[in-house]
Amino acid sequence: MLLGESYHPGGPALTRRLAERVDLRPGMRVLDLASGTGDTALLLAAEYGADVTGIDRSAALAKHATDRAVDACVANRVRFAVGDAEFLPFASNSFDIVICECAFCTFPDKAAATSEMVRVLRSGGRVGISDMTVDTAVPPLELSGLVGWVSCIAGARTMTGYCDLLAAAALQLEGREEHPEALLELLDRVEPRLVAAAILTPPEFPALDTAQVKKWMAVARRALASGSVGYCLLSAHKPGHPDKQPADFGLEVAMIRPAVSKYRSPPAKSSKVE
């Protein structure tokens, strides 16, 4: 795996920064949206004492993250489900914090995903997002050939674009930070692995050309230096008083347990409970 266990730029340091920005406290109920290998969820449970539910559309990643939670002895405070960010299988007002690291840019319908974040968040709860940015609404053409960045860059927004999406869902923006160093760190981490993969690729597999890999990396570094791409951290809160919640109807969610090998599909949009 080219990125190792950590899928997001900035690694644990940026996750901790995000936790500070949303004022994460022990016992808070956190939704880790698009939880991947579980890095963020495990850190928030182990270091902050949070009660974390991760959700990812990949059943394999949810299972892997569950195994890691068991290994890290935090399975009592962390669980993972399979589901789509745009149709969350959770009751309204069920979380104090929603975190989404390096995944929002890939959601095809960002407005739907944002509205789902707001629905599952309690009044007064916070959202923390870290993600790729582009400097214009149209991503730089020369970046379109970059393997691994394609889906992120194609779906990334400007910082203002993300803020507009949050505001449109009635979230109140609290903080916006630029973290280009997080992307630089990611490139530094990935480049040697890509070059090694190119050198070690067995002849029977399609060739990863070392020169091409170095060219991609140079393009990515230029884009970062020029500000065409970047990385941001956003925090916002859902207005309202925590004690005045609308009625809540529970919704059963299939969590991945270590012994479970079959996964239920997330509920269809029409079965969502409001």
Ligand X SMILES: C[S@@+](CC[C@H](N)C(=O)[O-])C[C@H]1O[C@@H](n2cnc3c(N)ncnc32)[C@H](O)[C@@H]1O
Interface residues with ligand X (CB under 6 A) are 7-8, 34-36, 39-40, 56-58, 61, 84-86, 101-103, 106-107
- CB of 10 or CB of 125, closer to ligand X: 10
Q: Are 207 and 201 in contact (CB under 8 A)?
A: yes
- CB of 191 or CB of 247, closer to ligand X: 191
Smallest distance, ligand X to C-beta of residue 242, A: 26
- CB of 102 or CB of 171, closer to ligand X: 102
Those residues whose C-beta lies under 8 Å from the C-beta of residue 141, and which sit 6 or more positions away, are none
Q: Cα 107 to chain center, whole Å?
A: 10
- CB of 124 or CB of 180, closer to ligand X: 180
Element of type H or E holding 125 = strand 121-134
Q: Are 62 and 90 in contact (CB under 8 A)?
A: no
Residue 101 tokens, joined = 């690291």
- CB of 98 or CB of 166, closer to ligand X: 98
Q: Are 128 and 233 in contact (CB under 8 A)?
A: yes
Smallest distance, ligand X to C-beta of residue 241, A: 30
What is the phi/psi pair of residue 255, to 5°? -90, 150
> Could you give the CA distance from residue 52 to residue 42 in angstroms, rounded to a whole number?
8
Smallest distance, ligand X to C-beta of residue 118, A: 16
* β-sheet bridge partners, residue 98: 31, 127
Residue 106: C-alpha distances to residues 5, 19, 85 (Å): 19, 22, 10
Q: Which residue is nearest to ligand X (CB)?
A: 36
Q: Are 159 and 256 in contact (CB under 8 A)?
A: no
- CB of 7 or CB of 90, closer to ligand X: 7
Among the listed residues 71, 72, 61, the one whose alpha carbon sits nearest the alpha carbon of residue 32: 61
Smallest distance, ligand X to C-beta of residue 9, A: 9
